[in-house]
Homo-oligomer: A and B are copies of this chain.
Amino acid sequence: MAVYTEVSDEELFAFLQAYDLGPVLSFKGIAEGVENSNFMLHTQSGYYFLTLYEKRVREEDLPFFLGLMFHLSERGITCPQPVKNRAGEVLGRLAGRPAAIVTFLEGMSPRRPDATQCAQVGEMAARLHRAGKGFSLHRKNALSLAGWRPLYEASAPRADDVVPGLRSVLEHELKFQEKHFPTDLPGGVIHADLFPDNVFFLDGVCSGIIDFYFACNDAFAYELAICLNAWCFEPDASFNMTKGMALLAGYERVRRLDPRERDALPILARGSALRFLLTRLVDWLNVPAGALVKPKDPMEYMRKLRFHQKVASAREFGLAA
């Protein structure tokens, strides 16, 4: 949670001159998101979400993220829709940062998702994969296989300070992934960060998806691997097979996995566990003094990785034959 950049009323009023949203009624910094500064904006025409993009987001990626939200929302995926200013642009500058306004999405993120919610997120992921077709921009996944070794190099020297033995776990898994990570799977646009934080529910029904700032082109099954990690483990690190079955069946109700994807799922699950283990470890080792954000515990993903290393087939995740 953080608001890294404060915005004065004068700066806001000047920025909104370019929009047709009417007078401002309220404007509050939101304590969520770790990458950007987010504000809830209420104007005479409704509720909006205003984001200032901080340095962790590359400015050249913004057209991809904002364009994708447009593309998806036009194709029936409920997600924040960028608001155009009078010049037809969705990206402006506010308080020295790139800034955009999107529509405000109602809903609550589940703290402890149940199997029904897992089924819905699976289905939503498949619908998103289908809706992403025809989106004209491309963005490489900077946090896929090629990105892992630099993260490993950056964190390995101090990994054992976090947990003794972690460095060798990382090294072993990275070598395994460099040998076996599949590269020829069906793919397209994926969200790449479909954690419960980013999926909203209202009255038990999935009401939308937010935070597209890791979205990229990658294997569809890799998204599913991320979801298995993010939605189907219990707080004690045990894998909940009922949730796994629900999530995978939900996905397959919309898009069937092909045999290569089914075979690749255990390796992808290990790979995505390694990805979050590495990024969390790097964040953990680099918390600045006086940080506004408490980093997430990397060990959660170490335990998930350990689980996946023993998995032989996607059936162990609950995938139907």
Give the interface SS of chain A, mostly helix, strand, loop or mixed.
Answer: loop
Interface residues of A in 122-165 (CB under 8 A from B): none
Interface residues of A in 1-18 (CB under 8 A from B): 1-3, 8-10, 12
Residue A31 CB within 8 A of the other chain: yes
Residue A103 CB within 8 A of the other chain: no
A residues at B contact (CB < 8 Å):
1-3, 8-10, 12, 23-32, 40, 42, 104-112, 202-203, 287, 289-292, 294
Name the residue on B nearest A109 (C-beta). Answer: B9
Name the residue on B nearest A26 (C-beta). Answer: B106
Name the residue on B nearest A290 (C-beta). Answer: B291
Chain B min CB distance to A3 (Å): 4
- B10 engages A111 (CB within 8 Å): yes
- Residues of chain B with a CB closer than 8 A to A109's CB: 9
- A28 engages B40 (CB within 8 Å): yes
A111 CA / B104 CA spacing, docked (Å): 25
Task: Indicate the member of A25, A203, A294 with the most B CB atoms within 10 Å.
Answer: A25
- Residues of chain B with a CB closer than 8 A to A42's CB: 106
- B25 engages A106 (CB within 8 Å): yes
- A30 engages B27 (CB within 8 Å): no
With A8-B111, A23-B202, A291-B290 as contacts: A1 and B31 at CB distance below 8 Å: yes
A1 CA / B108 CA spacing, docked (Å): 22
A24 CA / B201 CA spacing, docked (Å): 10
30 A-B pairs with CB atoms under 8 Å apart are: A1-B3, A1-B29, A1-B31, A2-B31, A3-B31, A9-B109, A9-B110, A9-B111, A10-B111, A12-B108, A23-B202, A23-B203, A25-B106, A25-B107, A25-B202, A26-B106, A26-B108, A28-B32, A29-B31, A29-B32, A30-B30, A30-B31, A31-B31, A40-B40, A42-B106, A287-B290, A289-B289, A289-B290, A290-B290, A292-B292
A154 CA / B2 CA spacing, docked (Å): 31
A109 CA / B9 CA spacing, docked (Å): 7
